[in-house]
Amino acid sequence: MAQIHPFKAVRPTRDKAGLVASRPYEDYSIGELTAELEYNPYSFLHIINPGYKFQHEITGKKRFQLVKNRYLEFKEAKIFIKDRVPCYYFYKIITRKNIFSGIIAAASVQDYENNVIKKHEDTISRRETLFKDYLKEVGFNTEPVLLTYPDSEVINSAIQQAMKSTPEYEFSTHNKQTHYLWKICEPQVVDQIKAEFERMPLLYIADGHHRSASSALLAKESKAANTNHNGEEPYNYFMSFLIAESNLKIHEFSRLITDLNGLSKKEFLMRLDTSFRIENRGIEVYSPSKKHHFNMYLDGEFYSLYLRKTNYNFNDSLSTLDPYILYKKILKPILGIEDLRNDSRISYIHGKNDLIEIKARIDSGKFAVGFGMLPLTIEEIKKVADEGLIMPPKSTYIEPKLRSGLTIYEF
């Protein structure tokens, strides 16, 4: 059973929520970041970019301490308040194309370690340790792990009922999204939601594998240092955003490669022909419509690639994934790319961007060839996780993406 608990969030006052909330730091261009820091004193970016106050870039543990200092300053200035009782937080995002709604809550580290919360991506140890050290130093987390659960009438009903009331927050952003947050603290509703999650045997990580792994490391270290450990300490949980499987939006990542690994165009196409039936589409913008079909853009032309299934073995759930097929049949054997995470010859662009942008990047001369595919389904992701397998890096780009600074989980 899954342990999903309410918690006492630290969060901005109602009048400042829209000013505090920020996109992930890496999403900002230098110009955007400078403008936000210069003209919005309430932005959460001031906390996660503390060197701006000194007009100096700061890294490492010194930055961690300054992040904590900026956070404490926001609390002292009453920009942030802390709820007095544990609550669930219902969060809704309306974008131009989608509506997402789910529950911000505390998920159990024990569930993560016992595989009740299932994972499908590998993590890098140094990144786990770095983020664990960051959490330990600053004492809070503001980026929830995205978890998904089977659709539940009980939870849907609770969310819909809560949304009939006035939200705690309601604000719009520059990218034409509207954000809402409701605070759910009534004991009867809290108990109902908690019991419903306890009836679920499994949850799945959709996004945030490093965050959950780092939280598990922190819990292990904190438990060892606490002689009075009882299992209820905040470090035994990590903040999560739980969303129904049907409400997730899964995009693919296209692969862009800088060169043909010393092959001529003709040689490259002949090597591809061993594993794929190839059709030259010319200038027609082609998108695949079936699994195991790929689109390719090369030398000013689009191609469709159809996997020759007689030349490929499907022996587990991983082998059926298009990102894995692309790696096993093209990227590694033909283009010589073995390390999908660190090879500088490969770049990724998520499927929210259309094929015209991929074409433009290749036409610019920076890349030689690009590949696209259909997005994975939640069923494919779950099968990989259930079999204990690991998907290739950048197999999925999953929405929603939450704003930072709206709910903060303190350890």
39-52: pLDDT as tens digits? 999 999 999 988 77
Angle between helices 209-225 and 125-138 (to 10 degrees): 60
Is 321:328 a contact under the CB 8 Å cutoff? no
Is 324:318 a contact under the CB 8 Å cutoff? yes
Distances (CA, A) of 312 to 54, 241, 276, 320, 395: 58, 38, 10, 10, 20
Q: pTM higher than 0.85 for the full model?
A: yes
Q: Given a cut of 80, is residue 55 above it in pLDDT?
A: no
Q: How is residue 338 written in tokens?
A: 């073995």
Each residue's pLDDT tens digit, 319-355: 999 999 999 999 999 999 999 988 999 999 987 667 8
Q: Residue 241: which of 111, 148, 132 has the closest Cα?
A: 148
CA angle 130, 351, 301 (to 5 degrees): 125
The total number of residues shown for the chain amounts to 411
- The dihedral over CA atoms of 152, 154, 160, 163, expressed in degrees to the nearest 10, equals -110
CATH of domain 253-395: 3.30.1760
pLDDT at position 354 is 72
Each residue's pLDDT tens digit, 65-123: 999 999 999 999 999 999 999 999 999 999 999 999 999 999 999 999 999 999 999 88
Q: What is the mean pLDDT of residues 177-196?
A: 97
Q: Residue 102: which of 249, 232, 211 has the closest Cα?
A: 249
CA dist 220 and 8 (Å) reads 22
Whole-number percent of the chain with pLDDT over 70: 98
Q: Given a cut of 90, is residue 364 above it in pLDDT?
A: yes
What's the one-letter identity of residue 141? N
Element (H, E) at 210: helix 209-225
pLDDT at position 47 is 95
pLDDT, averaged across the chain: 94
CA dist 46 and 40 (Å) reads 9
pLDDT at position 56 is 65
Domain ranges of the chain: 4-248+399-410, 253-395
Residues 6 or more apart whose CB falls under 8 angstroms from that of 39 comprise none
Q: What is the mean pLDDT of residues 160-185?
A: 94
Q: Given a cut of 90, is residue 54 above it in pLDDT?
A: no
